[in-house]
A and B are shown apart, each in its own frame.
Chain A
Amino acid sequence: MMSDSASLSRRDLIRRGAIGAAGLGVLSQAVHAAERLSGGPHDPMRAGTVGTVKGGALDPLRFLEHFDYGQVSQLASGQTLREYDITAVDREIEVAPGVFYPAWTYNGQVPGPTIRTTEGDRVRVHFRNAGTHAHTIHFHGVHPANMDGVFEPVHPGEEFVYEFDAKPAGLHLYHCHAIPLKKHIAKGLYGAFIVDPVEARPPAREMVMVLNGFDTNFDGENEVYAANTIAFAYQNQPIQVVKHELQRIYMVNLLEFDLVNSMHLHGNFFHVYRTGTSRTPHEFTDTLMMCQGERHILEFAYEDVGRFMFHAHQSEFTELGWMGMFEVVEPST
């Protein structure tokens, strides 16, 4: 934003001349506020939002470890059938304390429920549109063209059943593919889609983090950034981690408008399983770059107790909400 002083008017220069005439560049050497006040302006906890989100639409700590395995039954062939009910509904959500965003949601929450299945299972999603615009669900994965959620817009009041075999194993995502695409994703219609390999991954404490943002004033730029919707949610309520325990994060980047997002872990390194499709890690790092729609499985364990930050390494995203904290504690024996 340009200020008035950017364009010099006659009066501006008169001002400057006058000030020069006074010939005074007095700067008071007052006691620095940092020394006066507890904490001071450099206190890291000064950065962040003020107040607390009242909750309702999404409990960040609950969402973090909640996986929807669907309603399980057996098909005649012996194949496992998992059925999910997803309803698109318009709902105002609180994305930062006191800041409300008119979202479009799956099941009234952003991100939508984390859908979890096992490779080879039959997935059947009963989709109902209770919103005000046509929506779809476009799953990433291998499936028939008519189950791709692109060419069959589901109009308000209509229903559609998506059915396919879950493959390949890995970490995927789902989102609305109605047009205009950018609008439908930015408004909140997305979620994580986990396809577990038949041979299970090693036991671990598992978490899902959907990286997202909100353009609250609709100017094509995000005002709020987050892991799981609410700015600074895991800074205000740090995630408890037990020392030495293997941590596994299913991290999906659904940020709109900004091309690249990232994850940086403090005081530690993590193994990266890109798209979760391979059992051998691709990389051992502490900073991971993610394009829109990219998703990776991260594994790590802490060897020390204390507070460790995690956040985007785009520092502007960090200070606008995509920042959290692990509180590492001793195992309770």
Chain B
Amino acid sequence: MTSMRVKGWLWALLPLLLLAVVSVVVGRMGLAEFLRRGAPPVEELTFDRVTLEPGAMTIEVVNGGPDPVTIAQVMVDDAFWDFTITPAATVPRLGRVSIELEYPWVENEPHEITLLTSTGLTFSHEIAVATETPTIGPQFFAIFTLIGLYVGVIPIAIGLLWYPALRRLEQRWIDFVLALTIGLLVFLGADALIEAAKTGTQVAGAFQGSLLVVIGALGALLFLQVVSRSKVDRTEAQGRHAVAVLIAVGIGLHNLGEGLAIGAAYALGEAALGTFLIIGFMLHNTTEGLGIVAPIARDRPKLSTLASLGLVAGVPTIVGAWIGGLAYSPLYATLFLSMGAGAIAQVVVALYRTLSRSTGRMEWNPLTASGVLVGLLVMYGTGLLVGG
């Protein structure tokens, strides 16, 4: 029996062993060079992060192409400029280098950085609005925590205050609110997915940003499906509570991605103020709080339960803002946003089951259908207040 198992393992290893042998042969015999037919190497550099301090810039660059790339010269605003590069001018595949240069950049003006490689190819990055990158310190954490509070925690806390009103509703109107929550979540999930796909295109080629979206979304969906399955299917009240937790987690992941983007935007100096925007933004995110309490409307959750749900959904915004401000990279942003989309998709499924049970498998009636639509429209309408 044991020898059978050993034999099984050996057979499983054999193809891997052969693959290793063939790889060595290809590498040693220069087959790749032969197949390339003298074509020049393919170069691809991606700017991961540019930070500004007074009179100086630091540029982090990733090689996402198939071949090593040598950065020969650096131009800033169409002028060759003195620079230092660490660890080396030649960036290996999937390697990362940091370029430092002293440059008298101008506050609030755009600047363009161009890297000239040894083969004469150029890779450019535009700093849309130059402003000093925040440095880590008490002030940094104060700013980013404040951003997170405004964006995530406060609107959700306000939204949770709809709970007493929801409790007093008739069952069919609770069903309406559940359907409305589905609409809200579908909107948020689609938003996260679209944003993930967008940032995915900025990820260095070899990391396959667009496919990371699939992995992140499906991974989060499957993970939450497995961990929540037993809880959602328990007694009705427990099941509803579990759904509320899931909604909070899903929204939390979405807000983590959003916080990341906000933190990065602030760190990279995209700032504009408008009272109208602030109010619109608060309205927009307040609906997230409503979504969390909808499934447990007829239960009697403790205040502490409500508070912890709000924190699960809101606090990730603060964490996201920290990460975004400290070490934004399109890679993380893509991953977090797609995980948010996957988590929300799972929550929509769970919520649908709750609705299905609540309506005695008559989930689609004019009231619930219009609930979903109203949910979408509320998000769309409040979205209009904060942008296009």
Binding site for B on A (CB under 8 A): 1-6, 8-28, 30-34, 37, 39-43, 45-51, 95-101, 214, 216-219, 223, 231-232, 316, 319-321
A20 touches B79 (CB 8 A): no
B270 with A33: CB separation less than 8 A = no
> Contact: A49 with B80, CB < 8 Å?
yes
Q: In the complex, which residues of chain A have a beta carbon less than 8 angstroms from the beta carbon of B75?
A: 223, 320
Whether A98 touches B120, Cβ cut-off 8 Å, given contacts A34-B104, A37-B102, A41-B103, is no
Q: Assess whether A18 is in contact with B262, with CB atoms less than 8 Å apart.
A: yes
B83 adjacent to A50 (CB under 8 Å)? yes
B 63-102 binary contact with A (CB < 8 Å = 1; else 0): 0000000101111001111110000010000000000001
CB distance from A281 to the nearest CB of B (A): 34
Number of B positions contacting A (CB below 8 A): 67
Q: Which of B28-36, B162-170, B218-226, B277-285 contacts A (4 or more CB under 8 A)?
A: B277-285
Instruction: Identify the 6 closest CB pairs spanning chains A and B, nearest first.
Output: A216-B120, A13-B387, A33-B55, A17-B277, A98-B72, A319-B79
What separation, in Å, do the CA atoms of A239 and B139 have in the docked complex? Answer: 53
> Within the complex, what minimum Cβ distance (angstroms) separates B52 from chain A?
10
Contact bitstring B133-148, A, C-beta under 8 A = 1, else 0: 0110001000100110
CA–CA, A261 and B5, complex, Å:
79
Interface of chain A, main secondary structure: loop
Given A50-B73, A99-B116, verify A18-B281 contact (CB < 8 Å): yes
User: Which A residues are CB-close (under 8 A) to B124?
Assistant: 1
Chain B residue nearest to A218 (CB atoms) is B120
Given the known interface contacts A10-B388, A217-B122, the answer about A24 and B78 at a Cβ–Cβ threshold of 8 Å is no
Q: Give B residues with C-beta under 8 Å from A.
A: 53-56, 70, 72-75, 78-83, 89, 102-104, 110, 112, 116-122, 124, 126, 128-129, 131-132, 134-135, 139, 143, 146-147, 150-151, 191, 195, 198, 202, 258, 261-262, 265-266, 270-275, 277-278, 280-282, 284, 383, 386-388
Tell me if A21 and B120 are in contact (CB < 8 A).
no
Apart from A21-B147, A50-B82, A231-B80: 14 A-B pairs, beta carbons within 8 A: A10-B388, A13-B277, A19-B271, A22-B143, A26-B139, A28-B139, A30-B54, A45-B82, A50-B73, A96-B80, A98-B72, A99-B73, A99-B116, A99-B118
Query: If A47-B81, A96-B72 touch, does A20 touch B278 (CB 8 Å cutoff)?
Result: yes
Known A3-B126, A17-B274; contact A8-B388, beta-carbon cutoff 8 A = yes
Q: List 18 A-B contacts (CB under 8 A).
A: A1-B124, A14-B258, A15-B265, A16-B277, A20-B272, A20-B273, A20-B278, A21-B147, A21-B150, A30-B54, A41-B56, A49-B80, A95-B120, A96-B116, A99-B117, A99-B118, A319-B78, A320-B80
- Quick one: which of A18, A25, A47 contacts B80, CB cutoff 8 A? A47
> Inside 8 A of A101's CB, which chain B residues have their CB?
120
